[in-house]
Amino acid sequence: MKKIIETRDIQKTYKMGAEEVRALKSVSITINKGEYVAFMGPSGSGKSTLMNIIGCLDTPTAGTYILNDKDVSDMTENELAEIRNKEIGFVFQTFNLLPRASCLDNVALPLIYAGMKKSDREEKAFGALSSVGLGDRVHHKPNELSGGQRQRVAIARALVNNPSIILADEPTGNLDSKTSYGIMELFHELHQKGNTIIMVTHEDDIAHYAHRVVRLKDGLVESDTMNPNPTRGKAVAISE
């Protein structure tokens, strides 16, 4: 399988006044194209720091990060921004949607930065919304949608640029259980279509949808195991 992510002895130290906090001490992992991986660990374990580095939102203090055969460890902010827009689709716990913009405009936003003309942006955004079951909600604003629907809009936005990887940071953290399982069914469908998915979660039942679970503790990988029986529940209605 093609290697899509490789970290070699990644370290991250933050300066907090006179103190130094080692969020990551030495993390070396490889993720192949098409994998579905969950990062888990207690607060302070380093999982969010690792996600930020993999998502090119932060850079390591030491070590090497290779994304799609490119060394991004020492890239400038502008170079990282370009990589983020081309290679990575983000899904956040808080959805991060523009409240006054329609679903269509929210999903099309990354395509503006890519320099795509408006008619093409809208066509691609409509296709992405349709793929998550919201083709009939394109002109709605976020406050006219349920929590589950808002997260589906965020997932459509993550998909619209055909990214190499989808990074989901606590994607069900603001949702009730029934809606959470509907969103996880959608991630399962996206994975079945060949998408590479990396998810941060503190919930065991959500992590069990992933095919591989990487547990971090004190800035180190505590365990890295395959999940032989990922959860496959009954799909939940789109309207939830």
Task: Give the Cα separation of 147 and 145 in Å (integer).
Answer: 7
User: Hey, what domains does the chain have and what are their CATH numbers?
Assistant: 35-59+76-226 (3.40.50.300)
Task: Give the Cα separation of 159 and 164 in Å (integer).
Answer: 10
Tell me, what DSSP letter sits at residue 204? H
Q: Hey, is 4 helix, strand or coil?
A: strand
How confident is the prediction along the chain (240 residues), in pLDDT tens digits per residue? 899 999 999 999 998 888 999 999 999 999 999 999 999 999 889 999 999 999 999 999 999 999 999 999 888 999 999 899 889 999 988 889 999 999 999 999 999 888 889 999 999 999 999 999 999 999 999 999 999 999 999 999 999 998 989 999 999 988 988 899 999 999 999 999 999 999 999 889 999 999 999 999 999 999 999 999 998 755 444 334
Task: Give the Cα separation of 91 and 80 in Å (integer).
Answer: 18
Q: How many CB atoms lie within 10 A of CB 8?
A: 15
pTM of the predicted model as reported, rounded to 2 decimal places: 0.89
Is the Cβ–Cβ distance between 170 and 201 less than 8 Å?
A: yes
For strands 19-32 and 3-16, give the pairing.
antiparallel
